[in-house]
Structure 1
Amino acid sequence: MSDHERIRLVILGGAGVGKSCIVKRFLFNTYTDKYRSTVEDLYNREYDLGQVQLKVDILDTAGDLQFPAMRRLCIATAHAFLLVYATTSAPSFACVKRCFEEVREQRPDFQEIPIVVAGNKLDLASTHREVQIEDVSEWLYCELPKLRAKVMECSAKDDYNIKDIFRCFITLSRILRPVGEEVVGGLKRRSSAYVSASKGGRRAGSPAGLEASSSTPTSEGSGGLEVAKAKPRSRSLIRRSSRKAKQQMRDAHAEDCHVS
């Protein structure tokens, strides 16, 4: 893993749902009720996560869809998406669905892109709710293909769940992973014999054996590598035994036909 990671988070959603309020609450801990239409605002921040230095570009986009070329460029260059709707507005949730369809059309890798769908204005939901989180979850988890995504509700005004939204992207992006998961995740497709050998190492409960079978061979005498080498030989013996058994069956069948 490199010492530096850079991701671009693009925020999409309809006008007036509170996209800018979420960003400013997170970055500056400020909030205002005054509405100002956003064309495009870009914020840059660096975070020390211990293992890596994370550089984040947060792109706050327009909600009125007046700049389609700019919107396509934002979607094409994003590493993650925050799709924002208002819990008090059913049309804003319909707009989020359209935003997702734009992402799906333009990004063939959309299933691997971290996506958080956030319902803002939770502070008004008790009296003016129009979108149930169950409906959002059903759409995201049941109606769509399998995604790297999560649904959350928040309130920029009350500073509720704002930091959790951005923490969620760290998990979905898999920037910080356990060492064992990182090694396995970096492997290319392996043969069934190699997988079986690796599984045998896991059953034995030896992390060192797993690393040896998962890495490129650098020395002889590794127990994990010996298991991996022995497996194909046993498979060849099975093939020869199988061919011999089939030949015996054919010979027996030929004798039966001759007798009849």
Structure 2
Amino acid sequence: MSNNGTTMSDYERIRLVILGGPGVGKSSIVKRFLSNTYTSKYKSTIEDLYNREYDLGHMTLKVDILDTAGDMQFPAMRRLCIATAHAFLLVYAVTSAPSLDCIKQCFEEIREQRGDFQDIPIVVAGNKLDLTSTHREIPIEDVSEWVYCELPKLRVKVLECSAKDDINVKEIFRTFLTLSRIFPRDPEEAGGLKRRSSAYVSNKGGRRNASPAPEKDKAGPSEGKDTLMKPRSRSLIRRASRKTKQQMREAQGGTDDCHVS
């Protein structure tokens, strides 16, 4: 019970950390989800932290989405990101074989640092699905074989998406709620997220509030008014971290079969 009388059944906060190589579209996925915007211009990320609050009916969910650097220039920051995460989004580009090697390295870092790695919700997302008609280097079967056959039992899902064409972006974030047992596994039972407020923080010092979202906005972007503002930055090391939750049960059903469809 918190000081204001709110129980954990009424209030929950999770931190989603996004890892992957440079140029795979991590920031594009976040911006498509939060503000339904996309730009083809590439700008490297150091560390951007976004905040959203959702009304799930039975509880209020506060989500911190941490978009990290794609290179290895900030190892201390990277270790802290991994240590404080409640869930991970590992992003690769289906058009780049080296990008899959990068998220494999990210997973090894998670396994080394987190003794509870088998209980942490993880989504492995192959971005740039819109380019597969002309150029594909990574079949989804190869990724599924690595995840479901080579790795220990995990709470994980593999999917492909396109931030540019807005394919499966909302599904990524709904999946985290399902893997976290916040939403049921059946999408029809899950319904939609109702956004209560929007805000963001990021790594060069600053926090601003975005325009209020519509009363019953579904999971993902509101249209038109809730425009994602250009992030500022503030080092995660200066932010108080929450101790990793140990409340997850066994890995999601189905991942213990080595079956690649």
Aligned partners of 2:93, 2:175: CA distance in 1, in Å? 19
Runs of 4+ in 1 over 6 A off after TM superposition: none
Scaled by the length of structure 1, the TM-score of the pair is: 0.68
- Which residue matches 2:118? 111
Residues in 2 aligned to 1:40 and 1:105: alpha-carbon distance in whole angstroms: 22
Which SS does the other structure have where 1:127 is aligned? coil
CA RMSD of aligned residues (A): 1.3
Q: Give unpaired runs (5+ residues) of structure 2.
A: 1-7, 186-246, 248-261
- In structure 2, the partner of 1:246 is none
Determine helix, strand or coil for the equivalent of 1:54: strand
Q: May I ask how many residue pairs the two structures share in their alignment? A: 179
Return the index of the structure with the highest Cα Rg: 1
Residue 45 of structure 1 is matched in structure 2 by 52
Q: Tell me how far 1:143 sits from its aligned partner.
A: 0.3
Alpha carbons 1:42, 1:60 under 8 Å: kept? yes
Higher helix share: 1
Q: Contact 1:51 / 1:176 at 8 angstroms: preserved in 2?
A: no
Match of 1:101 in 2: 108
Amino-acid identity (%): 81
Aligned equivalent of 1:3: 10
Distance 1:101 1:164 in 2: 25
Please list, as runs of the form range in 1=range in 2, the aligned pairs for 1:134-145 lying within 5 A after superposition: 134-145=141-152
Change (3 A) 1:177 1:152: closer
2:75 matched residue in structure 1:
68
Determine helix, strand or coil for the equivalent of 1:47.
strand
Q: Is the 8 Å Cα contact of residues 40 and 62 (structure 1) preserved in structure 2?
A: yes
AA aligned opposite 2:92: Y
Q: Deviation digits for residues 226-255 of structure 1, max 9, x if unmatched?
A: xxxxxxxxxxxxxxxxxxxxxxxxxxxxxx
How many Å apart are 1:176 and its aligned residue? 3.8
Quick check: 1:167 aligned with 2:180?
no
Task: Report the Cα distance in structure 2 between the residues aligned to 1:91 and 1:147, rounded to whole angstroms.
Answer: 23
User: Distance in 1 between the 2:42 and 2:98 partners?
Assistant: 18
Indicate yes or no: 2:101 matched with 1:81: no
Instruction: Report SS of the residue matched to 2:132.
Output: helix
Structure 1: state its 5+ residue gaps. Answer: 179-185, 187-260
Q: What is the CA-CA distance between 1:125 and the residue it aligns to?
A: 1.1
Question: Could you say what secondary structure the match of 1:33 adopts?
Answer: coil
Structure 2 length-normalised TM: 0.67
